[in-house]
Amino acid sequence: MTGKPHAVILAGGKGTRLRPYTTRLPKPLVPIGEEHSILEILLTQLAHCGFGQVTLAIGHFGNLIRSYIGDGTRWGVEIDYTKPEEVPLGTMGPVLRILDQLPEHFLVMNGDVLTDLDYCDLMKQHRQSGAPLTVASYRREERIDYGVLRTEDGRVVEFTEKPTIDYRVSMGIYACSKQTLRSYPPGMPFGFDELVTDMLAHGTPPRDYAFQGYWFDIGRPEDYDRANAEFGLIRGSLLREANGS
């Protein structure tokens, strides 16, 4: 351990929704802007934030990720790898397998997100709050193109014409405390949804870290195409180190 912050990047998924781009490449190595892969951008950001250790939870095409990324020397971070998953373990399952190797507070993030979120501030707020889990969240708005009815006992009691729904979504980035996860058995599939549902049932709710900057989840071909189209505009905020900031 280096004493610096530790991040776990979930890079074991098959990227099924992103085919055909992921037919021959794991999703974290798909190029953005013809210069960098998603994973390279994440590692550059984490190094810039002062993270000293990164664990890559690998599975599908894990050998390609290990061969391309190596030990992290290019980014100035120490990189290690989990044993490839024989069966998908979900979001938190891979973390449970290596829990004893992690510090008390650590970052967990999906390997397919583009954001200019300040990971250092997320970790700082998590430690200071004493929360069992801190979830980075993003505000979404969705316009309904219909008149919306609310009914009771066969009667219309409320009508709204083409309303806009405002809600927050998980960004796939979490600040975790080891103690929160100790009671869950390793080796079994365990998702973020299961963790949060269980925490709410036990009266230990996670903390929300509301974020308002740039965030994009690259899940589908149209998302990937949009990220590439926007990369020239957002490159500076994503790769702050390259700009000397």
pLDDT band of 107, cuts 50, 70, 90: very high
Is the confidence at residue 17, as pLDDT, over 60? no
| Contact predicate 206/122, CB 8 Å | no
Q: Is the peptide bond before 20 cis (omega within 30 degrees of 0)?
A: yes
Mean of the per-residue pLDDT values of the chain:
86
| Contact predicate 52/73, CB 8 Å | no
Q: Which comes out higher in pLDDT, residue 240 or 37?
A: 37
Chain segment 174-209, per-residue pLDDT in tens: 999 999 999 999 988 899 999 999 999 999 999 999
Is the CATH code 3.20.20.80 the one for domain 6-137+168-243? Answer: no
Is the confidence at residue 1, as pLDDT, over 70? no
Rounded to a whole number of angstroms, the distance between the first and last alpha carbons of the chain is 27
Chain segment 222-241, per-residue pLDDT in tens: 777 777 777 877 787 788 64
Is the confidence at residue 25, as pLDDT, over 50? yes
List CB contacts of 15: < 8 A, sequence separation 6 or more.
21, 22, 26, 27, 30, 60, 112
Q: Give 179-183 contacts, CB < 8 A, sequence gap 24+.
A: 179/104, 179/132, 180/132, 180/133, 180/204, 181/92, 181/95, 181/96, 181/99, 182/99
Segment holding 132, helix H or strand E: none
Q: Which comes out higher in pLDDT, residue 224 or 21?
A: 224
Q: Which residues of 68-82 are buried (b: 16+ CB within 10 A; e: fewer)?
A: ebeebeebebbbebb
